[in-house]
Structure 1
């Protein structure tokens, strides 16, 4: 068996074979399909050998089929294709297509849509370097366990995120945030877990891993996800396969415009656990279609920010009784006015918002703006009915060069604060307060954590907070001016005197 360090080192060598001609932000587009192909190919050979050892000369195609998880048509094994000397990229693309067609229910589209034959994108020299690096790794079960392979995949995802910088936010959520959300929501065996913006599948994998590590039967958990980006959706599917997860369904598409998981009635399907880190304040998210959308349970969010569209979609996807939701959001959702204020008020009055968790600054790749977790529960416990739990964990972090980190102790302390409703960590812990809805109503349904908890860390008064306040004030001014000019124009006033076009 190979060690984790050896596996990670060899996987990173494979990625580095692309360095130079391929943008680091695109490494994942090429490395993951090749890793997945090498894994299913090496595993197929291992399964074939096991079948032959059992049946010897009596082995036929029908018997052997029972030994294989995936069907690999003749001529599609790694060793058969990678030794070809002409049009290698085009041959790989053709091989991926044949494998997908041979496994339509499980692998259709799994390899993504990289242009393998386009030497402008990936020169043959880089492709050969990638193949040579993977030739040094055997990925069958006798050499690499599923746990090890899954950890290696996560290692690559983290490294690719580091290399990609802000672009990483599209496919990678810091694992301490994922583990915090999963620890709060506590998925159980037999439950369904859904991520409507699943990225590379990290949150779904983490729910499985938590059950596995706690000795519970993870195989009965059903995982569902939707992802708009084709490459990222493919990476998510490969991630789940490599983590030995059988019962999952990842759909590609736009969750807000066309949710892929529907009940027979036409309403969105409902799940026990709904968990996500959607893109922050997404513009052009499809507001024009939401006036008659049943997911707009508390109103239509502004066209320039889809935050509360994701929140309402997730709350609508929460199963009655057992359902709970955990979503990462920018702090602006806690206090912004206009349509968002009405939606926020509606959700609070429905008494489904259980907790607001303020996160440390600079945790995410895509933004320096501080973020929070919103936790919803269909059936809150008796002591939390008509209350919202506020947790300020902004002081619980380790300062990093580009990003801050939360340690395992930090994550554990915040989960414990959520579970107990008190700060058991003492000095340097998470500030906690259970606030009655009457007090929130008196504050105009503003959920800004600083209204209810004295902010623990000076770090939270950083550039990110200032940027949120500035952006909101600026947007409010723009909206006010727009309304004023519309009224003036309707009254026949010449707007050119204000330097404004009347068109």
Structure 2
């Protein structure tokens, strides 16, 4: 069922995007699409809840809306019903502003854009968790059409396409599925790096499972992602924790539109309000969180690669960076992100997983200094080389670095998983079997031929604290040498083939005639040189 629903979700998004893509950049229209999908989700969920509460359960939205209107318009039941809905949902949408009612108006040619804008405003005012949630969706944008009438037509057309979606009953990561689909399909339409807000599911699975390993039963697990994008990396914890309802999510995102998507994503996943701690700001510029808790059981990060940052000398006094005696270069913030995450990692049992480009493993100068310091204090536990071309926005191979603060040893385990993928049409794909192979190796910490190696601190020191994976895992495959008799047979066969093809060629050449005496003379000289 899930797959079928996903297919219809993708089809409806594709059709809706078709309406918008001629008018605006992919980065703009994903906000409209996902905002409206989210509004439909809130609306449908509420209608089904009302029908169930009033013991008139149905899976038909029109019937659910009729039930809602009946009790909403009845002065006897109105207040109690709204109280129940608000206490359960944290919001209530008027019957006339539900997505279902608005689509009915569209079909009758009576829809006004203001009704949807009012619906958005009402949701935002219902509860602090919804404040400014739809702020990136400008329903009166000239991009939608030059006149109010054209804007109305565009939004109406999109809503009609989305009306077929069973979003309330969709299994799995609804907004995440939609978001990943949009990035995958439309990344090429977008001038910006469309992939930077989403970590591919296989990589997210691997990182989350490592962070939760042996702690799946822990109640009140705290997870932090300082570059959270749409929140999908954090939300993977729901799949692997047996106490998913008690996990607390801490996340920060610089881009406001993406931050709002993460908030929607949390709500779509039913994360209790008290377990969501999301922040919209620049992670490197100013530390967050600074109020308790400031250290976490798990830190997961897929920061923007080789980003610019201020790197002002004042940061050397910042407790996140001061112990390392150097700052990440201005043009490559990779180590600044890594140290920020590491700073927020719990001392006892905390596990951090971060994805970065391979350069962090071997670049010198300030980065070399920071890397050496981390290795000397045993902070780097494991280095995993991932295949190339598995991310949306870059084809370069990346590495997952696992960090811990409470290690007694300073060895580093290297896994070369660069060959662990299936070839896809546009991207390479890591399957569950590939991920399992990496996890098994990670847990065993054993040497495995051409795949994994446990390097002692002395070995790393001899390599000048360079962590480039090929220095530690030799994946060189010697070519098999064929037996001499086989080589002799091949030579004979090749010679015979050359002889027969030469004869054929000569036969053709001998039929050539020069058109002039000079040309004939030249041709004869050429054939003589070939010993014919």
For residues 395 and 10 of structure 2, what CA distance do their matches in structure 1 show?
A: 29
Q: d(CA) in 1 for partners of 2:314 and 2:101?
A: 50
Work out which of the two has the higher radius of gyration on C-alpha atoms and give 1 or 2: 2
- Equivalent residue for 1:489? none
Unaligned runs of 5+ in 2: 57-66, 146-150, 479-532
1:59 aligns with 2:81: no
CA distance in 1, matches of 2:294, 2:111: 45
Does the 8 Å contact 1:198/1:227 carry over to 2?
Answer: yes
- Could you tell me whether the CA contact under 8 Å between 2:383 and 2:412 is conserved in 1? yes
Aligned residues: 437
Shift of 1:182: 1.1
In the aligned structure 2, how far is the partner of 1:306 from the partner of 1:282? 5
* TM-score, scaled relative to structure 2: 0.76
On the 8 A contact 2:144/2:154 being kept in 1, the answer is no
> What's the TM-score once normalised by structure 1's chain length?
0.80
Could you tell me which residue of structure 2 aligns to residue 490 of structure 1?
none
> Aligned to 1:191, which of 188, 208, 221?
221
Q: Write the mapping of 1:214-225 to structure 2, written as runs, cut at 5 A.
A: 216-225=242-251
CA 138–453 in structure 1, closer or farther in 2 if over 3 Å, else same:
closer
Q: Which residue of 2 aligns with 1:492?
A: none
**Matches of 1:135 and 1:417, distance apart in 2:** 47
Aligned to 2:59: none
Q: Could you tell me whether the CA contact under 8 Å between 2:20 and 2:144 is conserved in 1?
A: no
Q: Taking structure 1 as reference, are residues 120 and 259 closer, same or farther at Cα in structure 2, changes over 3 Å only?
A: same
Q: CA deviation at 1:90?
A: 4.7
Structure 2 matches for 1:24-103, cutoff 5 A?
24-53=26-55, 59-62=77-80, 64-67=82-85, 68-74=88-94, 76-81=97-102, 83=105, 88-103=112-127
Decide which of 265, 281, 296 is 2:306's aligned counterpart: 281
The separation in 1 between residues aligned to 2:97 and 2:277, in whole angstroms, is 25
Q: Hey, what does 1:387 align to over in structure 2? A: 411
**Contact 1:358 1:394 survives alignment (8 Å):** yes
1:395–1:457 Cα contact (<8 Å) kept: no
Cα 1:422–1:15, aligned 2, differ >3 Å: closer, same or farther? farther
How far apart in 2 are the matches of 1:66 and 1:36?
Answer: 21
- 1:397 aligned partner: 421
Partner of 1:377: 404
1:351-404 per-residue CA deviation (whole Å, 9 max, x = no partner) reads 111001111112122222221011001223x6xx12111111111112233321
Q: 2:178 maps to what in 1?
A: 156
Q: Secondary structure at 1:53's aligned position in 2? A: coil
CA distance in 2, matches of 1:457, 1:171: 37
**CA separation in 2, counterparts of 1:443 and 1:276?**
27
2:257 to 208, 231, 239: 231
Kindly report which structure 2 residues correspond to 1:443-458, keeping only aligned pairs within 5 A, or say none: 443-455=463-475
Matches within 5 A, 1:101-120: 101-104=125-128, 106-120=129-143
- 5+ residue gaps, structure 1, are 459-503
Looking at structure 2, the residues matched to 348 and 436 of structure 1 have their Cα atoms a distance apart, in angstroms, of 11
Please give the secondary structure, in 2, of the residue aligned with 1:226: strand
Contact 1:11-1:152 within 8 A present in 2 as well: no
Distance 1:138 1:288 in 2: 53
Maintained 8 Å contact 1:290/1:300: yes
After superposition, residues 46-445 of structure 1 pair within 5 angstroms as 46-53=48-55, 59-62=77-80, 64-67=82-85, 68-74=88-94, 76-81=97-102, 83=105, 88-104=112-128, 106-121=129-144, 123-140=151-168, 144-145=169-170, 148=171, 150-162=172-184, 163-165=186-188, 167-186=193-212, 188=216, 189=218, 190-211=220-241, 216-246=242-272, 247-263=275-291, 269-296=294-321, 297-298=323-324, 299-380=326-407, 385-422=409-446, 431-445=451-465
Does the aligned pair in 2 maintain the 1:89–1:118 contact within 8 Å? no
